[in-house]
C-alpha cells in the first residue's frame, strides 16, 4: 500500500510540475521568421526588446527607435562581433555617437528600447538578405527567449 501511495504521489507531482513549467515558460511574444526579416508580436503590455541575435550572430539585424523625448533616432545593430547603437540627431539625421549596446543602455536608459504593447507588431530586417533564420534569441524586460525554426 505504501509503494502504491508513493507512486500515486509521484505521478501527481510530476503532472503538476510539468503544468507549472509550461505556464512559467510562456513567452510574452510570438516570433515568426521570414526570409529577410523576423516578425515579433507582443502578447503583453509594455514589452521592451533590448537585443536580438539571429543564428547566433551570423545574421546581422538592425532596428530603429525614436527617443522618448523625440530628440534622437537610435539605430540598433546586432551581429556576431558587434552589438551597437548609433545615436543620430533626429532633425538632421547626423550621427552623434556610436556606442556598444550595454553602454547605450547605461547612458540613455532602458526606456529607450524598442517597446511594444499587446497586439503590436514589428518587423526587424537583416543587414544582408542571404540569411535563413534558424534560431532567434531575444532579450526583453520580461526575460530572454530563444525561438527555433527547424
pLDDT tens by residue, 48-63 = 999 999 999 888 889 9
The more confidently predicted of residues 20 and 84 is: 84
Instruction: Specify the pLDDT at position 113.
Output: 95
Which grid cell sits at 54? 539571429
Domain extent at residue 125: 2-148
Task: List, in sequence order, every residue forming a beta bridge with 72; answer none if it has no partner.
Answer: 89
Strands 114-116 and 121-126, sheet pairing: unpaired
pLDDT digits (tens, 9 = 90+) for 31-47: 998 877 899 999 999 99
Instruction: Specify the pLDDT at position 129.
Output: 63
| Mean pLDDT of all residues belonging to the chain | 83
Instruction: Specify the pLDDT at position 119.
Output: 97
Alpha-carbon span 146 to 54, nearest angstrom: 10
Average pLDDT score over residue span 120-143 = 87
Per the structure, how many domains does the chain have? 1
- Predicted TM-score (pTM) of the model is 0.78
How many Cα atoms are found within 13 Å in the side-chain-facing hemisphere of 121?
7
% of residues, the chain, pLDDT over 90 = 56
Answer whether residue 4 shows pLDDT above 60.
no
Please report, for residues 19, 58, 62, 118, 136, the alpha-carbon distance to residue 90 in angstroms, rounded to integers and kept in the order given: 48, 30, 17, 27, 30
Amino acid at each position: 500500500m505504501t509503494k502504491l501511495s508513493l507512486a500515486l504521489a509521484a505521478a501527481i507531482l510530476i503532472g503538476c510540475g510539468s503544468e507549472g513549467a509550461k505556464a512559467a515558460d510562456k513567452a510574452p511574444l510570438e516570433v515568426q521568421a521570414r526570409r529577410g526579416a523576423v516578425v515579433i508580436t507582443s502578447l503583453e503590455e509594455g514589452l521592451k526588446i533590448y537585443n536580438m541575435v539571429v543564428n547566433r550572430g551570423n545574421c546581422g539585424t538592425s532596428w530603429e527607435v525614436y527617443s522618448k523625448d523625440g530628440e534622437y533616432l537610435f539605430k540598433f545593430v546586432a551581429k556576431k562581433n558587434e552589438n551597437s547603437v548609433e545615436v543620430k540627431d533626429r532633425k538632421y539625421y547626423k550621427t552623434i555617437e556610436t556606442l556598444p549596446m550595454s553602454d547605450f543602455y547605461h547612458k540613455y536608459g532602458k526606456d529607450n528600447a524598442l517597446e511594444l504593447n499587446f497586439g503590436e507588431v514589428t518587423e526587424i530586417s537583416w543587414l544582408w538578405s542571404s540569411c535563413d533564420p534558424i534560431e532567434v534569441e531575444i532579450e526583453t524586460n520580461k526575460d530572454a527567449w530563444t525561438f527555433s525554426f527547424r
